[in-house]
Every structure is written in C-alpha cells, then in structure tokens.
Amino acid sequence: MEKTKEKEIGRVAHWYDKIKVAVVKLTGVLKVGDKIKVKRGEEEFEDSVSSMQLDHAPVQSGKKDQEVAIKLSQQAKEGALIFKVE
C-alpha cells in the first residue's frame, strides 16, 4: 500500500461544536477542495475542505499565518494538527 504524503498545514486554534467548524492557524497554503487529515494523539480522520472563511467572509484559500474557519465532518479538538494529504 502506497503511503500518502502528508504535510503539516496548521493547527486547530478553536473548535465550535454546534456548527462543526474549526478555526485553523495556517502554516502554509490551504485551498477549498484540498484533502486534509486531522490528528490529535491517537485520533485521526480525513476530510476535505468544503468551505472556508476568513473574517466571516467566504474565501477559496488561506495562506501562512492566517486563521481560517473550515467546516469539518467530525470533531477536531483544540491543538489538533491539520495535514494536507497529497
């Protein structure tokens, strides 16, 4: 089985449980449509970025040092690492 390449792209700064949105402090570029993996300790899941907001406005991508909000299918606790899956 081929190992997928993972590149750390950010860290969850805040989690909004009711709306299932993670605020992610980015360390690289992340775009709508990108596949990501969320890891915290032994827990991990894959998702794709279906929507992203910056300062409450929809954006197609975020870049290093920005804090973007992305909707996720599962809970991502604060401190979880976000990886881009290629």
What pLDDT was estimated at residue 59?
A: 98
Instruction: Please state which CATH class domain 6-85 belongs to.
Output: mainly beta
What pLDDT was estimated at residue 6?
A: 86
Please report, for the chain, the start and end positions of each structural domain, with discontinuous segments joined by +.
Answer: 6-85
Return the closest-CA partner of residue 23 out of 55, 46, 45: 55
CB 65 within 8 A of CB 24: no
Query: Going residue by residue through the chain (86 aa), what tens digit of pLDDT does each one get?
Result: 556 688 999 999 999 999 999 999 999 999 999 999 999 999 999 999 999 999 999 999 999 999 999 999 999 999 999 999 98
Q: Tokens in use for 10?
A: 């950010």
